[in-house]
Structure 1
Amino acid sequence: MAESTRVAQQVMWNRLISIVEEQAQALVRTAFSTSVREAGDLSAGVYDGEGRMLAQAVTGTPGHVNAMADAVGHFMRRIGVATMAEGDVYLTNDPWEGTGHKHDITVVTPVFVYGKLVGFFACTAHVTDIGGRGFGADADDVHEEGLALPIMRLMDRGEVDGTLMALIRANVREPDQLVGDIFALASCNGIGQRRLTEMMAEFGLADLTDIAAFILTSSREATIARIAALPRGSADGHMAIDGYSVPVDLRVRVTIEADRIVTDWAGTSGLDPKGINVPLVYTKAYACYALKCAVAPEIPNNAGSLSPFEITAPEDCIVNARPPAPVALRHVIGHMVPDTVFDALDKLIPDLVPAEGAGCLCNFQLSLRPRTDAPAPTDAVRAEVLTFNSGGSGARPGLDGMNATAFPSGVMTMPVEATEQVGPVIVWRKELRPDSGGAGRRRGGLGQFMEVGAREGHEFDISAMLDRIDHPARGRRGGADGAPTSIGRDDGVAMRGKGRQRVPHGRVVRMAFPGGGGYGAPSERAEAEVRRDLMLGYISAETARDVHGWDEAAIAAALEAAARGEET
């Protein structure tokens, strides 16, 4: 291949990445749901005419985009390529042919140039409500978890399916919000479509065949080269987590071969009766993400760079759930997949991967209504408020863990102001949780304290989606465990980490989100870093004394320096 041709194809590859990033940012700006606008719980990508992902947006979550990598092939099969036309837009929330649960809606738009189908744009967003029991783990099968939207046409040659819109509106609690999100998804695909058409005209392309071959071949070869440089071998990883009512064991065997890495989930717990089961497409998404982070983080995500990673799991284990298993909270288990893979990788490639972190997002949804124990004010309303929050990430071999940062999902914590403006919610407290990061040569990231209630005249149900209550994040190579999760009411009533629970009028829910595990022995932590932690309030005087061996005089001096506003 001539050097000039390679340069041109690299320019086009970069252009595709910028196009899908613009696509994603358009979705952020136009979406109705705070989970998209504020938390970035979305994905966007461009595909060739064979349905292979060529580029993904940086904005978004690996659970969405890596799962969405397989989705376009399902759309092509279900809709029928021969029936596709300009102006068509398709959608689904099928957990097994989309991104793992009904609360994610995937929209796919075919791209035509000079009347010829050349590719597709796809995007996904998490929606606040899809009907049914609402977002939570309480369903006994997938049919209870909300409205099912099989792969179907949203628009047929530019004409919106009015019957579909009527059915959606009749089955959800927040119809304007949901319909607004669906049209935002379709619109952002339209932006990608226009930018791609402009690029193809600029470079004189009749189709994407050559650029697709360049992207996919280059990415695959680069990833295989990274794998080939690793030591060969197999190792087992294990993690025990809370589950719904009984603990869940995640077990994986990671095998590094010359040109691929295989993860086999044999031995993992079976299906749970409640909605924490994971379709295999979502397990694949996060297992691939873990391997990409560890082995080839600089290589862009596409079908080529993902292909050397192979994931297998026994049918009807908790990470390969089949219909009609309930799967609404598949992320609670799925977000633990990377740390389980890392447990195995640490035995094969020491000093590469971080300690365990909080793993799953610390989510909850409030279903608010006028109080029922006494007359409610006339301005009391019903509302559904979903908020995403994070514990701490695990310490890395050379760096502390990140405070209140979602790994592996990358979903952002929702600001208090955004949460309170969508419903009658009051966030009484939201702050970092001192001493929650596991001690070590590198400290685990801190979790958060959070206290929430309803405005006067309202009561609510809270659907908790938490973990790490009984199984905190483990430290690595001598590092201490992170602090566990806790949840309860301000009147001392204990609450469950998962499930829908009623909160009476006037009561507040108090939550402490988990910290990440430490890395290396705490005795190896540099004195200057302990001093900085103490001055910033990341650790208490007791931790400085009991864990790091500081005397009272040194502690007092550091705290006095912090009070004077000295630099850490």
Structure 2
Amino acid sequence: MSAVGAGGRLDPAALQVLISRLTGIAAEMGAVLARAAFSPNIKERHDASAALFTADGSLLVQAEHIPVHLGAMPASVAAVIERFGATAAPGDQFVVNDPFAGGTHLNDVTLVAPCFVGDELVGWAANRAHHADLGGGAPGSMPAAATEVFQEGLRIPPVPWSAQVRDLILANSRTPDERRGDLDAQFGANAVGVARLAELVTGGVDVATLDEVIAYGERRMRAAVAAVPDGTATFTDTMDSVGAGDDQRDPAVIRCRVTVSGDTVRFDFTGSDPQRPGNVNAVEAVTVSAVAFAVRHVLGPDVPANAGSLAPVEVVAPPGTIVAARPPVAVGAGNVEVSQRVADVCLGALAGLVPGRVGAASQGTMNNVLVGGDGWVYYETVGGGQGGRPGGPG
């Protein structure tokens, strides 16, 4: 792809073609994953996501999958690169589900694979999928009585994928056959992503032009933020204290102060409650995901979702709070409950800055249902939808 305009940039048409081709690769990864998966949770509910990253770990493109997966995935990829980036080789894959290493909750397992063309590392393919059971104190690996992450299931730091690691995971699940099939599907999805990205580069796309995709996302989002008048707005909401050890009369407070200054926007969660005794706690990566969702939803719905589109966005989440929990606290409900309320708080604050562009609040919960017995687990969410918009229904 050689259509270069002024300043050495790709011309607009060539850039859009490149973005579409890259996004198509991520979408194909997701389709392969769903088609090959064993569990209904991934095959039918499509509780999985896929994305491509540059060689340095910057988000390049993502498919239209799960926002809470995709917003947090860059932190897991960064954790893998920090440990293994210098020694990664063609054919390698790495696995991680640690919520405190860019994960969300233990159920969400991420596989990351490097893409080489010859000896050159040109990027990474990654996907994240929700596994219905990874051990812990109750079927589904999100026990409501948990007070520590150790009670929620198997915690996997970034490690190289191998048959031995797979066997370790299977030995800690109530549904090992499903887990084997889903993990194999994730492995295969990354293999497709790596192959397609390598084909793109060997077919004539200069690796340096991938950075232009990210630069374009940044230019578009900075322009969108700059169009908002400078100002500050604050929004506060509460959520029921449903975790073990929580005082039911003491709802958890989530507070967000949004400040727009020029072409940057800051989300400051100072004043949010300390992390709770139970599992209603979100790790920072989950909070970043919710912020990314709100920003893209309100300020840049047509801006490509990549590292550049979040460059103008700053997130301040004080460690040890309900929006940036620290180990060893339980976090199972942070991904599925706190994330929803954080998104609503962000949208509420943005409504004070761009009135008329923000819809009503959502249901604020994923309504998770977990049932299981001897050798089986079923996971479902009863969706409630998004609130109505100024110009149409939700």
Distance (whole Å) between structure 1 residues aligned to residue 327 and residue 354 of structure 2 = 37
Alignment of 1:390 with 2:383, yes or no, is yes
Q: How does 1:260-271 map to 2 (within 5 A)?
A: 260-271=264-275
Alignment of 1:400 with 2:393, yes or no, is yes
AA aligned to 1:239 is D
- Greater shift, 63-72 or 130-139, is seen at 130-139
Residue from 321, 326, 329 that aligns with 1:322: 326
Cross-structure match for 2:49: 43
Structure 2 counterpart SS, 1:203? coil
Higher normalized contact order (CA 8 Å, seq sep 6+, divided by chain length)? 2
Unaligned runs of 5+ in 1: 155-160, 370-381, 402-568
Distance (whole Å) between structure 2 residues aligned to residue 307 and residue 5 of structure 1 = 21
Distance (whole Å) between structure 1 residues aligned to residue 219 and residue 69 of structure 2 = 25
Higher helix share: 2
Residue from 223, 231, 234 that aligns with 1:233: 231
Deviation at 1:136, TM superposition (A): 3.0
* 8 Å CA contact retained: 1:31, 1:184: yes
Alignment of 1:107 with 2:111, yes or no, is yes
Cross-structure match for 2:143: 136
Deviations along 1:349-382, whole A, 9 cap, x unmatched?
211111111122111100235xxxxxxxxxxxx4
Deviations along 1:309-356, whole A, 9 cap, x unmatched?
111122111001011110011120111112111211222221111111
The percent of aligned pairs where both chains have the same amino acid is 34
Alignment of 1:357 with 2:355, yes or no, is no
* 8 Å CA contact retained: 1:89, 1:110: yes
AA aligned to 1:65 is L
AA aligned to 2:238 is A
Structure 1 counterpart SS, 2:144? coil
* 8 Å CA contact retained: 2:234, 2:255: yes
Alpha carbons of 1:308 and 1:150: their partners in 2 closer, same or farther (altered >3 Å)? Answer: same
Alpha carbons of 1:357 and 1:9: their partners in 2 closer, same or farther (altered >3 Å)? Answer: closer
Structure 1 counterpart SS, 2:185? helix
Cross-structure match for 1:287: 291
Deviations along 1:200-232, whole A, 9 cap, x unmatched?
222254xx2x22221111110111011111011
Structure 2 counterpart SS, 1:96? helix
Distance (whole Å) between structure 2 residues aligned to residue 171 and residue 42 of structure 1 = 21
Residue from 61, 64, 71 that aligns with 1:66: 71
Cross-structure match for 1:272: 276
AA aligned to 1:120 is W
Alignment of 1:17 with 2:23, yes or no, is yes
Distance (whole Å) between structure 2 residues aligned to residue 343 and residue 5 of structure 1 = 38
Residue from 27, 37, 40 that aligns with 1:31: 37
Deviation at 1:305, TM superposition (A): 0.4
Distance (whole Å) between structure 2 residues aligned to residue 241 and residue 395 of structure 1 = 21
Distance (whole Å) between structure 2 residues aligned to residue 239 and residue 198 of structure 1 = 48
Structure 2 counterpart SS, 1:390? coil
* 8 Å CA contact retained: 1:93, 1:101: yes
Cross-structure match for 2:259: 255
Distance (whole Å) between structure 2 residues aligned to residue 165 and residue 18 of structure 1 = 29
AA aligned to 2:86 is A
Cross-structure match for 2:217: 219
Alignment of 1:145 with 2:152, yes or no, is yes
What is the root-mean-square deviation in Å for CA atoms of aligned residues? 1.5
AA aligned to 2:382 is N
Q: Aligned pairs, how many?
A: 378
AA aligned to 2:331 is V
Cross-structure match for 2:129: 125
* 8 Å CA contact retained: 2:105, 2:332: yes
Alpha carbons of 1:19 and 1:392: their partners in 2 closer, same or farther (altered >3 Å)? Answer: closer
AA aligned to 1:113 is V
Residue from 2, 5, 18 that aligns with 1:2: 5
* 8 Å CA contact retained: 2:75, 2:103: no
